[in-house]
A and B are shown apart, each in its own frame.
Chain A
Amino acid sequence: MSRDPDDPRLEELQRLLDVASEDQREILAEAEREAGEDDRAFMERALERAAAAEGARPPRRWAWALAAAAALLLGWLGLRGVWAPPGGGPAGTVLGDDDLVLVSPVGEVAAYGSIRWTFPISDAITFEVLVRDAATDEVLLEERVEGRLSLSPDSRVTVAWPERIDVELRAFDGPDELASCSASAWLRL
């Protein structure tokens, strides 16, 4: 192997590379000579495990980013009242916005049908329902109901339903507002 006499460090590096190369040849020759059936079986299992682990590996970075974006969206929807996790606290806990969930109409629907919601308690609770035309902000329905978790709006709304509506819902215990939520719904065209 040619050397660079002008640079001793480069020459030393070349010598190191030659030693490494010679060593590799020796070690490889010896390893290939000594390797047997056990080694082959071990590597077969090891490669199988590697292939299986690759198939089961955690989602890549983009999948995590997508999951984070979905979580943010759900959080935002929850804050907007379009979606909120079900359930509420046991008796005695303070009920908040998350406990009032509008079930329908939410999102794309065939018809607005009945307005339904959930709340951990309904006795002696007054619910205020406000429905607006999303395009014009015109109030289509404003109703207060007590001790119920649904309302049929058709008999109360005399105008034709618009393509898109906004529904606001509030829960009151006497004069105290316990929770509120809102959602948009639109007709499937």
Chain B
Amino acid sequence: MPRAPAIPPDRVRCPQDLALAHRARSGSTADRRELARRLQCVPRILAVLNRRLGRPFGREDLEDAAQDVAAAVWRRLDSYTGQSRLESWAFGFCSNVLSDRLRALRRRPVHVEHREDDGTDVAPSSGNEEAVVAVHDVLARVGADEGVDVVRLRHFEGLDYEQLGAHYGITPNAAKKRYYRGLARLRTALAPFVRGGLR
């Protein structure tokens, strides 16, 4: 199992979540239950993403996907660094799993158009769902890579350069440079979506 890169304790943004992750991994049933409570949003996240993608998956597919997410979260729990809430961290796995399943679905010769209603009532689609899922997918795949993590902290955790500088122990200007280097790295991975443009 991949180990989390060493992050000084004073830079951990969600220390309680990190402690819970460590306790759950160490085998405590009570802490695993608490982890399950924190991650109870996973099936709903999958249902919402599925709805916004035009419901390509049925209820059973979503249950399988939720199991896959739980397995992936459990396997990678040691790599969780506490830089975002556990729920946000799990969101990346949801996008990742759904994205993989979407690719597999498109490789199949017959595409099933109709899917049963999963019971969720969500806001209307923004029309950028695939690009959005791709962003989360890419961010989840690069994991704790600091070159890209700075981008995630800037956009998803809302840190400005001052805060990023404090987080990494560098000047705000150096944080800004690091952020743009991270963006450049992401640009290659997300080129198809960027060129296609947002609606």
Binding site for B on A (CB under 8 A): 1, 4, 9-10, 12-21, 23-24, 26-28, 30-32, 34-36, 39-40, 42-44, 46-51, 53-54
User: What are 8 pairs between A and B in contact, CB < 8 Å?
Assistant: A19-B131, A35-B40, A39-B42, A39-B43, A42-B43, A46-B36, A46-B69, A50-B73
Interchain CB contact under 8 A, A27 and B193: no
How does the 8 Å CB contact mask read for B26-39 relative to A, with 1 for contact and 0 for none? 00000011011101
Known: A10-B187, A12-B197. A46 touches B128 (CB 8 A): no
Of the listed residues B67, B126, B180, the one surrounded by the most CB atoms of chain A closer than 10 A to its CB is B67
* Cα separation A27 to B53 with both chains bound (whole Å): 13
How many residue pairs link A and B with beta carbons under 8 A? The number is: 141
Shortest Cβ distance from B136 into A: residue: A20
Q: 3 closest A-B pairs (Cβ-Cβ)?
A: A46-B70, A31-B44, A50-B74
Interchain CB contact under 8 A, B44 and A54: no
Known: A20-B132, A26-B123, A28-B87. A54 touches B40 (CB 8 A): no
A contact residues around B74 at 8 Å (CB): 47, 50-51, 54
How does the 8 Å CB contact mask read for B167-186 relative to A, with 1 for contact and 0 for none? 00000000000001001101
B166 at the interface (CB under 8 A from A): no
B57 at the interface (CB under 8 A from A): no
Interchain CB contact under 8 A, B183 and A14: yes
* Cα separation A26 to B123 with both chains bound (whole Å): 9
B91 at the interface (CB under 8 A from A): yes
B12 at the interface (CB under 8 A from A): no
Binding site for A on B (CB under 8 A): 24, 32-33, 35-37, 39-45, 47-49, 52, 63, 66-67, 69-71, 73-75, 87-88, 91, 120, 122-123, 126, 128-129, 131-132, 135-136, 151, 154-156, 180, 183-184, 186-187, 190, 193-195, 197-198
CB distance from A165 to the nearest CB of B (A): 50
Give 6 new A-B contacts, CB below 8 A, not counting A28-B41, A42-B66, A50-B67: A4-B180, A10-B180, A27-B52, A31-B45, A47-B35, A54-B74
Report which of B66, B88, B120, B183 forms a contact with A43, defined as CB distance below 8 A: B66
B contact residues around A9 at 8 Å (CB): 187, 194-195
* Cα separation A19 to B194 with both chains bound (whole Å): 12
Known: A28-B41, A53-B71. A44 touches B197 (CB 8 A): no
CB distance from A29 to the nearest CB of B (A): 9
Q: Is the interface of A mostly helix, strand, loop or mixed?
A: helix
Report which of B32, B66, B128 forms a contact with A51, defined as CB distance below 8 A: B32
A contact residues around B52 at 8 Å (CB): 27
Interchain CB contact under 8 A, A27 and B48: yes
Known: A10-B187, A19-B132, A23-B132. A54 touches B75 (CB 8 A): yes
Of the listed residues B24, B52, B194, the one surrounded by the most CB atoms of chain A closer than 10 A to its CB is B194
Interchain CB contact under 8 A, A32 and B35: no
Shortest Cβ distance from A43 into B: residue: B36
Known: A9-B194, A39-B44. A46 touches B135 (CB 8 A): no
Interchain CB contact under 8 A, B44 and A24: no
* Cα separation A20 to B183 with both chains bound (whole Å): 14
Interchain CB contact under 8 A, A19 and B198: yes
A contact residues around B120 at 8 Å (CB): 34
CB distance from A11 to the nearest CB of B (A): 10
